Structure 1
């Protein structure tokens, strides 16, 4: 796979499209310039709390892939995309199985850090907060550690290929995202209590994890 390092605006990054003439698979290793609340393709900006995002200087953007909202921070998360043409050996017409190979690559990367993980092979999990927050539910190919989600993966498919978007954190705090959403105090409290143990992070080893996953993916 071809590696491309991408920096700058998270809005510009998510506006990128899968090239119609994509010849080989590419890995887009993205380092945003500012924190952002990234909404799923089915969400609109009214999901966000405008006052909260403005006060915290957090950009609000929509991605083209599905799922709920995620919080992205330059120093606290690893974000990378894998763009796959349909003729690539990793391609699968099965939407669920299409992510398994990528989740397995993350597992191998984590293993180099001494972290044991498991791959979620079920369908899209239905949970009370799953449509709102990405890490509130599991999707195919995502990676868990001690039954908590560590790597989130979403995908968008076009005639040209597929774009898989991946994120992992140093630590999981549900209020990083919940405090940026337009929720009543009661709903925010209920969601926070429910999501506390839903996900996890890799601690101060994010840079190592980025290096390890790129080593697994890039030829």
Structure 2
């Protein structure tokens, strides 16, 4: 597995294709150029309050993998993609189980950084806010710290392979997303209250977690 560092716009990064001739797994370590709200592939552009996002200096883009909206801040998150060719021994035709190996790597990395981490092996959670906000629900292979979601993973599969998009925050604040999506004020405040404790960040240890997960991936 090799690492490729990418800096630029979130939109351009999401437009990157899995090379048809990919033969070796890659880690795409991404450093976003600006804050962004990333909508899932099934979300309509009207999901976002584009005027509010523009006023806050936040770009709105869509990814090709599923799930709810994700807030990206270059100063507050660790974002990397893992790209796996179909020829890799870790490839699985079972979509649900296909991210378990990656989740296990994240779990070991977080434990190495002294977090109480565990792997979620259930199906995609159906929660009140899960279709709107990525961190409001758990998906197969995602990782929890002390029972709360800490690593979000979305997946896109093509004929060439699979692209797993992973994000970890320094701290979890549901208002990062809720301030930028189309909800009436009552629903907005209800969502904020219900989502306050569903996820967790890693505090000031993003650098340590980045080094730990790269060590896991590159050594595996």
Shorter-chain TM range is over 0.9
**Deviation of the 1:107 alpha carbon:** 0.8
The 5-angstrom pairing of residues 127-206 of structure 1 reads 127-206=127-206
| 1:27-60 alpha-carbon deviations (Å, 9 max, x no partner) | 0000101000001011121110112101110011
**Deviation of the 1:61 alpha carbon:** 0.6
State the SS of the aligned residue for 1:51: helix
Name stretches of at least 5 consecutive residues in structure 2 with no aligned partner: none
Q: Does 1:104 align with 2:104?
A: yes
Task: Give, in whole Å, the separation in 2 of the partners of 1:31 and 1:215.
Answer: 18
Runs of 4+ in 1 over 3 A off after TM superposition: none
Partner residue of 1:52? 52
Pick which of 107-116 and 69-78 moved more. Answer: 107-116
Q: Does 1:93 align with 2:88?
A: no
| 1:150-172 alpha-carbon deviations (Å, 9 max, x no partner) | 00001001111100000000000
Task: Please provide the CA RMSD for this pair.
Answer: 0.7
Partner residue of 1:82? 82
**Deviation of the 1:2 alpha carbon:** 1.0
Task: Give, in whole Å, the separation in 2 of the partners of 1:16 and 1:54.
Answer: 24
Task: Give, in whole Å, the separation in 2 of the partners of 1:171 and 1:192.
Answer: 15
Task: Give, in whole Å, the separation in 2 of the partners of 1:3 and 1:149.
Answer: 25
Task: Give, in whole Å, the separation in 2 of the partners of 1:15 and 1:43.
Answer: 17
State the SS of the aligned residue for 2:111: helix
When the two structures are superposed, what TM-score results if normalisation uses the length of structure 2?
Answer: 0.98
Task: Give, in whole Å, the separation in 1 of the partners of 2:111 and 2:149.
Answer: 16
Task: Give, in whole Å, the separation in 1 of the partners of 2:199 and 2:116.
Answer: 15
State the SS of the aligned residue for 1:135: helix
State the SS of the aligned residue for 1:149: strand
Partner residue of 1:119? 119
Partner residue of 1:24? 24
**Deviation of the 1:26 alpha carbon:** 0.5
**Deviation of the 1:203 alpha carbon:** 0.1
Partner residue of 1:38? 38
**Deviation of the 1:91 alpha carbon:** 0.5
